Amino acid sequence: MNYIQLAYKGRREIWMVLITAFLVGGVFLFNFIFYLTTDPSELDAAYDLMKQMPNSVSLFVNLVLFVPLLGLLFLLVRYMHERSILSLTTVRAKVDLGRVFFAFMMITIFTVGSFLIGYSVDSSELIFQFNLGKFAILFLIGIILFPFQIGLEEYLFRGFLMQHIGVIVKNKWFPLVLTSVLFGIAHSANPEVANIGFFKMMIFYIGTGFLLGIMTLMDDGLELALGFHLGNNLIGSLLVTADWTALQTDAIFKSTADPTMGLVSDLLVPVLVIYPIMLWILAKRYKWSDWKERLTGKVKEPVQENYKIIE
């Protein structure tokens, strides 16, 4: 049984899928509508209001909402869809924490390494602002709440939606494409989008969605996506902050650079060069094969399976 087929282990009526998606993912839909319908000056005012809070409070406010939402998703999957959380996570008999750790370390090494190279070349737009007390609070908030934030996004987009859309359309490529696009749109209200540009940031967000989706389908589980996403968000928040980013933190460094991203160097190179290299590393380590079938193949209902028994 592959990852998408795990949805057959529970109830999958379309009305149930829509209710779960709306109740849990409604906050992302609201953010997108807010972005489309709000005047740019009002968006700036909202961002400025958040900046008036202490960084630790602002970060807490931004992340704490994900705790009840992830809990709600788990409850709906367990009791309405009548399936286990393990079936939402992986085809393996138990969650492979080694995979989570490996992906976490891979993106951590890349993030820290690329930062150090950039810092050694030109540090003129970086301010060292390390404060032990503030950093300790940031670290505690980060290690406690970021798992809920990335957990909700992964379990919703690469988990619940990927599986149920795949079961509905009977293929793998469409849920991969759609969930990657939805993942990008879900971040449209972030201040980076307003400062850098919708088109540019969608290249990055949707490209990242494809990376995480490919990891999930090729590895038949969320473990790699969870580890990668956590490492990206946590290490990034601890290392560098800027006034124009979604999360204001008391990071070690603060960037004073203008909110610009080069289309080729900052967007296309990571998405089209760095991400494929990371997939190659994972493919070698976990011996992935049959890429075409795993990413574009048909989804068939398994035979002789008592789908409604929760493992």
pLDDT at 311 (0 to 100): 45
Residue 121 lies in a domain: yes
Burial of 158 (0-12, 13-18, 19+ CB in 10 A): buried
Structural domains of the chain, count: 1
pLDDT digits (tens, 9 = 90+) for 255-307: 988 777 766 767 888 999 999 999 999 999 999 999 999 999 999 998 765 55
Tell me the chain's radius of gyration from C-alpha atoms.
20
139, part of any domain: yes
* Close Cβ partners of 299 (under 8 Å, ≥ 6 residues apart): 2, 4, 5, 166, 167, 169, 170, 171, 172
Any domain includes 137: yes
CB 241 within 8 A of CB 56: no
| 310 lies in some domain | no
Give me the mean pLDDT over the 168-192 stretch.
92
153 part of a folded domain? yes
| φ, ψ of residue 130 in degrees (nearest 5) | -60, 125
| Better-scored residue on pLDDT, 190 or 157 | 157
309: in domain: no
Confidence of residue 248 (pLDDT cuts 50, 70, 90): confident
Question: Does 207 reside within a domain?
Answer: yes
Going along 118-249, which residue ranges are E strands? Answer: 126-128, 240-241
With contact defined as beta carbons under 8 Å apart, do 50 and 58 qualify? Answer: yes
Against a cut of 0.85, is the pTM above it?
Answer: yes
Residue 109, classed as helix, strand or coil, is helix
Lowest mean pLDDT among 101-105, 197-201, 203-207: 197-201
In a domain, 203, yes or no: yes
Question: How much is the pLDDT for 34?
Answer: 73
With a CB cutoff of 8 Å and minimum separation 6, the contacts of 92 are 220, 221
- Whether the per-residue pLDDT at 142 is higher than 60: the answer is yes
The whole-number pLDDT of residue 46 equals: 65
Segment 198-226 shows an average pLDDT of 95
pLDDT tier for residue 309 given thresholds of 50, 70 and 90: very low
Q: Are 238 and 139 in contact (CB under 8 A)?
A: yes
Beta bridge partners of 171: 298
90 phi and psi angles, rounded to 5 deg: -165, 160
**pLDDT value at position 76?**
98
Which helix H or strand E contains 255, and what residues bound it? strand 253-255
> Domain range for residue 266?
4-296
20-37 residue pLDDT tens:
999 999 888 887 787 777
Q: Do the Cβ atoms of 88 and 155 come closer than 8 Å? A: yes
